[in-house]
Structures are given as structure tokens and as C-alpha cells.
Structure 1
Amino acid sequence: MLTVLRFNFAVPGLDPAALSAAYAAGIEMARHADAHGIDLISLEEHHASGDGWSPAPLLNAAMILGATCRLRVIIQALLVPLYDPPRLAEELAVLDLASGGRLTIVAGLGYRPEEYAALCRDWKTRGRALDEALETLLAVWSGEPFEHEGRQVRLTPVPRRAPSALVWVGGGKPVSARRAARLGLPFCMPRNDPALAAYYTEQLTAHGTSGFVIMPPERTRLTFLADDPDRAWARLGHHFLHEARAYASWQQPGQTSAVRSHADTVDELRAEGVYEVLTPAECVERARAAGPMDTMVLHPLVGGLPPADGWQSLHLYTDKVLPALALTSG
């Protein structure tokens, strides 16, 4: 079973000491995860939020990769139109080389006009900007000179892996599927949509390229562990609710996501099931029932909760759940 640690480092109130503690805890939790068989760290990108929600995922990824030896990091999504493409190509190549090929980004457009406004980028041309940026990344990584803004350019170094291992294209619409297929890059979807996945496969054939699709299950759950879930919901539920409501408030009309909540209260959030608090025994039972192809997404710093509580959750997973699952598989 794939185990993922999700971090977005959102801290309501933006207290500098609390933010500092969250960033430090994320690095140490990643180090702990690396030593205990957890597979993947998931980061994301947002800007102009009221709680500091993940504005610098490449920096977070670099610190985590530098502190670990084995686990992989995925940024889903990196808002590529907000970056200078040649510089981004250089930084991604360096991270790929320095980490031994342990980073993947999902190149996304984002869905909040205020993020583009805050960083002085044009929201209306974001699709073209993403196309041009991805084409620039591929040109840089070819290792050959290419034309950029009327000049011949050659940048070094190039990544150790193929572009399709380093960059996936994100999106939930046909235009995103066509973009990924045209460039011969994998397609990563925000929700379970078999029809869109099939369309991507058709587009691969039409463009004569190869790739694969990454599609979440119909139900994605964000998991926190506690010996007493009732007490954890009573003490920490407002942290879960903060994140759920903030994320829901950003969604555009008609937009769907595998982790979107519609809850307005802690009780509604608990009943909904997107966020769950399990005992170690319940977590083991769910993992066994789901089988080895399932994914467990742990969220130990959700909504700015105190790192000490996040550590308790993570230790319950690594000290009780993983050993029990290892006995089962053995």
C-alpha cells in the first residue's frame, strides 16, 4: 500500500513562530517517514491565502529531499505559468540530479485569479503560458540550443531522468488531456473521471505519443490517527474544518476535486468522511480491506494543528500500523 504524507503548512493567523514550527516539523516528519518506509511526500502551491498555504513548494521540496535518502516528493500542482520557464527548467534539473531522481511535479494552471493578480501574471492567457512553459522545459532538457524570445539559448544541466518522469500535466478538462498527449507527458487528474482518462488515451494515439494517466479513486480520504478519535475530533476538529472550508471557498463553479468538502461544521465534516480520524486498529483494518493497491494519505499538520499532535498521529502510524501490516504481508 502506498503511504503519502501531505503537507501544505497552512497556519491560521500567520503567527511567525507557529509557521516556523510547522516548516521545521515537516522536515523532521519527512526524515522520520524516510526511515520508516513511508513512500511519498505530497506538496502543493497556493498564493495570497490568509494562512500561508504553501507558497514555495520547490523550496519545501528541496529541504525535504536534502533531509531524506529514499522517499519521493510530488508537487501537485506546481503553478507553472507563475514561473520564468528557463529558470524553472534549471531548478528542476538541479533538484532531479541532487535528489537522485526523487521529485515529480504536476504542472497545473491553478483556479484562483487572485493568485495571478498577486504575482502580476495574466489570468486570461494562462493556458498559452502553460503551453509555452512546458515547451521551454522540454527544449532546455534536450541539451541542444533552442530559440527563446528571439535568441539562441542553451542551458545546463539537464535532468538525469526523462521529462515524463519529472513532469506530469495536471487538469480536469479535455484541453488539459490534449496538452499532455501532444507533449507526450503523463496526465494527472484531480478527480475520478474514466471518460476523460479514455479521451487522453485517444489523444495519445492521435498525436503519436506515449504516456499514462494518474487518476484518483472515487473516494479519497485524508487520515489522522488517534487513540481516542472522539477526543481528537473535539480538540482538533476546528483545524480540519479550517482547511476544508478554505479549500472549498477557492473552488470555481462546476469545479470538482477528490478531496473537496461541503461541510460547514465539525460534525458535518466528520460525517462526510473526507477527513477521518482512526485508531491504529481501525487504520490496519481499513488498509487490509482495501488491499495493496490502496493509498493512505496522512495529514499530520492539517489546518495548522500543533506539531506535537501531528507527531502523535505519525508515530501511531509508523509504530503500530506499519508493523501490523508488515506482519500481514509476511
Structure 2
Amino acid sequence: MEDPTMDVGLIFDLRNPQEWQRPWADHYAQTLELCEEADRRGIGGLWFTEHHLFEDGYLPQPLTFAAAAAARTRRARIGTSVLLPALRKPAQLAEEAALVDLISGGRLELGMGAGYRVPEYALFDTEFKSRFARTGEHIAEIRRLWEEGAITPGPIQQPVPLWGGFYGPRGARLAGQLGIGLLHINRDKFEHYRAGLEEGGHDPATARVSDLLPIILSNDPDRAWHRVAPYLAHQLNSYQQLSVEGTDRPKPPLIKAEDLRNRTSDAPWGALRILTPEDAAAQIKEMTAGLPVQHLIFWASIAGMPDDLVAENLTLVSEKLPPLLSS
């Protein structure tokens, strides 16, 4: 944790559920304003994610939004966690990502993953079963296109930091074989990642990890938890219900906000923890000790939660947490 390259960032999924929906143009404009505000407050990274066919409008094209955020900010790293390269032609993705790096002045962090939803692959007429192999091939091809100058203009950074958003042993090993960072902080998976680095002929000392942590910060976690519960129920239900779409697996039972409100503030790590900056720093230091961590990423909002909670979380993540982590 003494690594000076580590930063703290926020991730935006742009969800806008029907129950709390605001006009879409206003929602996008407000999110860009949040990105600007976080950048002014010293946030280390602004990250964007990808899903398709979510009723709440989950962000489908993270690089498009990343370009807008890059144009409105000056210091924060601009990342994806993650986008799905298997849904795109490598040359298209290489060009789009290069433009984000150019617009940002060389701040891009390109996180990529294989995804898990059958309908998303069907939407892009792409084979789902071969997604891991295709993801690895496309990541390698994007890097080749940049290194050989096969697309123009190329990115500023040489190289652009690449990340694999993989959560299982197979994916961790793949990230290592490709010689890219692992977007997952887990000691067991880290060993698979290091093994993959050696298998790919890469120096294990180049290992680097980052992750999206299931944490929201608040000065009054108990009060915030009660208010966030309906939004978290929506988030969890959408993930669980849509994960089985297009498969023969049954849909899991719906989670109710009342069920979540019964959880205590000292519940184990899971879908979400709402913590004070001090408690978060203590837990993060324990989970990351001895690991080569570069980026810690926090939810900016849970499914469009109330604006005052979003503002409090943004301020605490940007300003209060970083000095606690470095102390």
C-alpha cells in the first residue's frame, strides 16, 4: 500500500431505473458534472462499465462516455472496468480507445473482460461459448495494432495500460499470459495470475492488480444503509435475473429492500458495504497488504441512489479516504 502509483477512483454505470428515472439527457449531463467535480476534488480515476439490454439503461458504450469525461477533466485517469472486446472488431476498439487516450492527454486505462450474458453476445451476433478465447485474441490484436502503428492516430501512451477484468482462476491466468494487469484483488487468484505471467514469458515482478470494491462511504452508515437498500435491491435483482437470461437456469427469487435493511453494518464482504472512511481504510489495508495494487475503484452511485448520498460518497472517496490509506 506504500506504492505511490496507487490511486482511488469512482465507477459510473449510468443506471436510471424507471422507479426513480430522470430525463436521460439530464442524467448524462449530471453525471458529467459529477466527473468534473470529482476531478476538481482530486479523484485518481473515473471509470466506466458496460452492459447491454438492461431496462434501466446501464451504460452500453463506455468509451463514448469516457471520451466526454476526458474532455471535461484534467487530472483523473480515465478507465473502463470493463468493456467487452469480443463484441467489437479489434481495429474499431483500437481506434476508439486511442482517441480517448488522445482526448485525455494520455490518461486511459483500458480494462476488458469476457462478460457473462448470452443476450449481449447474441445482440452483436457473436459466439458466447468462445468468449474467453476471443477476448484474449482481441486484446492481443489491439496491442499489436498500436505497437505496429497499424491504426492512426495511435494513442499517446506507449503502452496504454491494459487490464483483464476476470474473476476466476482461468481468467486470472489469461491476464497473466497476456502480460496485462488483473482487475481483481484476491490472494488465491493472484497466484494463478503470477503463474500466467511466467507462462507468458513475462516478469512476475510486473504484476499489478486493481479492483472495484463493493463499498459506499458515508459519515452515518446506518442511516445511509436504510436509504440505499431499495437501490441496492434493484441493482442485485437486475444482475441476478439477467445473468440467467438466454440459459436454461431458473431465475433466482427477487431480493426485497426489507431483506437488505435487516443486514447489520458489520456484515461480511458481499454485494455492498457502507462504511465510514476510517473503517473502509482499515479493511482495505488488510485486504491489500503485500499486493501490488494500482487502482481502488468505488461505486459512484448505486442504481441512481439519492443525490445527497452520491455527493457525500464522492467527497469522502475523493478527499477523506486517500490520506487515510497512505497513513
TM over 0.5: yes
The structural deviation recorded for 1:173 is 3.5
Alignment match, 1:287: 281
3-state SS of the aligned residue for 1:65? helix
Once superposed, what is the RMSD of the aligned Cα atoms? Answer: 3.4
Measured in 2, the distance between the counterparts of 1:45 and 1:64 equals: 15
Matched, 1:74 2:79: yes
Q: Cα gap change, 1:28/1:184 in structure 2, threshold over 3 Å: closer, same or farther? A: same
C-alpha separation in 2, matches of 1:112 and 1:10: 18
Matched positions, count = 300
Q: TM-score, normalised by structure 2?
A: 0.77
Q: 2:224 matched to which residue of 1?
A: 232
Name the TM-score, length of structure 1 as normaliser. Answer: 0.76
Going from structure 1 to structure 2, the CA distance change for 1:287 and 1:119 (only over 3 Å counts) comes to same
1:27 counterpart (29, 32, 53):
32
Correspondence for 1:186? 181
Aligned residue for 1:303, secondary structure, equals coil
Higher relative contact order at CA 8 Å, sep ≥6: structure 1 or structure 2?
Answer: 2
Residue of structure 1 equivalent to 2:249: none
**1:200 corresponds to:** 193
Cα distance 1:299–1:171, how it changes in 2: closer, same or farther (>3 A)? closer
For the structure 1 residues 175 and 301, does the alpha-carbon distance in structure 2 shift closer, same or farther, using more than 3 Å as the test?
closer
Change (3 A) 1:239 1:111: same
Classify 1:81/1:225 alpha carbon distance in 2 versus 1 (closer, same or farther; 3 Å).
Answer: same
Q: 1:158 aligns with which of 141, 154, 158?
A: 154
Per-residue deviation at 1:101?
1.9
Give the CA deviation at 1:323.
10
Q: Secondary structure of 1:124's partner?
A: coil
For 1:202, give the aligned amino acid: A
Deviates more, 1:28-37 or 1:300-309: 300-309
Contact in 1 for aligned 2:109/2:161 (Cα 8 Å): yes
Structure 1 residues 137, 238: closer, same or farther in 2, change over 3 A? same
| Aligned-pair CA distance for 1:13 | 1.6
Residue 38 of structure 1, CA deviation: 1.5
After superposition, the Cα gap between the structure-2 partners of 1:313 and 1:134, relative to the gap in structure 1 and judged at 3 Å, is closer
After superposition, what is the alpha-carbon deviation per residue over 1:175-229, rounded to whole angstroms, capped at 9, x for unaligned? 434433333322333x6242x3223322322332244241659xx4321425x54
Q: Residue 316 of structure 1: CA displacement? A: 5.8
Assess if the C-alpha contact under 8 Å between 1:10 and 1:304 holds in 2.
yes
Query: Is the radius of gyration larger for structure 1 or structure 2?
Result: 1
Task: Give the Cα–Cα distance (whole angstroms) in 2 for the partners of residues 111 and 70 of structure 1.
Answer: 33
